[in-house]
Amino acid sequence: MRTVDWDYKTGKLLLIDQRKLPGIYQVNEYQNYQDVIEAIQTMVVRGAPAIGVTAAYTIALCGFESKAGVYDELVVDLTRCASDLQKARPTAVNLGWAIHRMLSYIKKNEETDTDKLRIAILGEAQRIADEDVVTNLAIANYGSKLINDGDTILHHCNTGALAAVDWGTALGVIRKAHEDGKRIHVLVDETRPRLQGSRLTAWELAQYKIPYDIITDNAAGYFLSRKMVHKVFFGADRVASNGDVVNKIGTYMLALAAFDNGIPAYAVMPTSTIDSSISRGDLIPIEERPSNEVLNIQVGGEKVVPEGSSARNPAFDITPNRLLTAIVTEKGVLHPPFAESIRSIL
């Protein structure tokens, strides 16, 4: 199934519970929007594109939840839902992008009967989900041409089907190259603190039968400096108009080490991840998540961190555009200077 989907029989939103993978494959059902907001915050669903599509469906869910009989009342309910959703996570722009598109759609359909409008809103959410798959396939087609037979690829976080509706971004590129018959080996960095690499990317690669080894985030520099990696791929949660990439914590040091060793580093995302209203990466808000995500690590069933320790846990960092070889989107592969190449496709 899709990572994020709508069950038309029951009118429920379905999310693969990504906190339980790879041990347990469980699909959660949602029928009220507050529960979805909590699911976004606790990372049942994560990955910028997946969060965007989830938000779109959640507006539809909110429409069905609302008791409003007239357009204006329905808009009040939907706007409150949109505003609560917007606050769920601050960094990824796809959330705001999907909410904005849904509200614009609702605004354009003022004349519609509210019951018909509820269904039409679901239709728009469905279009966003379907377009996400088409977009990701276009990304995969462009990006896979960058991969050669025999490449070893270092990949950060999870950017696969689980981060989107299907296919995903950077991992979709790798999957497409594999399906095209290229022999690829992937170094999967574990991506502390939430281990999206060793939990989710490793799980996806195993499904696709792509060979991989897990490494600690610390080990990336070693493999890069020994030239045992040909290319580095990662996704993005928000991209500034100059091409600075805000992505999962650790991306900056990884891109820096790739650059220091002359190894190409590619950021992969749909153009909906580009926030043309923000000129530089350091102006993008960075979410700091609960310290427990760092402190709850165990080995052999034992907590390893001393009692009473505190932690800092920024979830994202900023990779300056100077460290990127290219940016891969559904509209093509963008090269430096990125301010220009980004402007040309928006």
Measured CA to CA, the distance from residue 114 to residue 325 in angstroms comes to 49
Interacting residues with its own copies between 302 and 321 (CB under 8 A): 302-314, 316-318
Residues 259-298 that bind its own copies (CB under 8 A): 260, 282, 286, 294-298
3-class SS string, 5-66: EEECCCCEEEEECCCCCCCCCCEEEECCHHHHHHHHHCCCCCCHHHHHHHHHHHHHHHHHHC
Minimum CB separation from its own copies for residue 315, in Å? 9
Q: Report the residue number, 166 or 317, with the smaller CB distance to its own copies.
A: 317
Residue (of 188, 197, 303, 293) closest to 248 by Cα position = 197
Beta-bridged to residue 233, according to DSSP, are 155, 266
Contact window for its own copies (CB under 8 A) among 94-102, 127-135, 168-176, 193-201: 193-201
Catalytic machinery residues: 237
Residue type at 81 in one-letter notation: C
Which of 60/323 has CB closer to its own copies?
A: 323
Binders of its own copies among residues 210 to 249 (CB under 8 A) are 212-223, 225, 248-249
**318/240 Cα distance (integer angstroms):** 10
Rounded to a whole number of angstroms, the minimum distance from the CB of residue 199 to its own copies is 5
In three-state secondary structure terms, 201 is: helix
Shorter beta-carbon distance to its own copies: residue 97 or 259: 259
Stretch of 44-52, 66-74, 104-112, 253-261 lying at the interface with its own copies (CB under 8 A):
253-261
Task: State which of positions 3-62 bind its own copies (CB under 8 A).
Answer: 22-23
* Count of CB atoms situated within 10 Å of the CB of 87: 10
Instruction: Return residues touching its own copies (CB under 8 A).
Output: 22-23, 187, 190-193, 195, 198-199, 202-203, 206, 212-223, 225, 248-250, 252-254, 256-257, 260, 282, 286, 294-314, 316-318
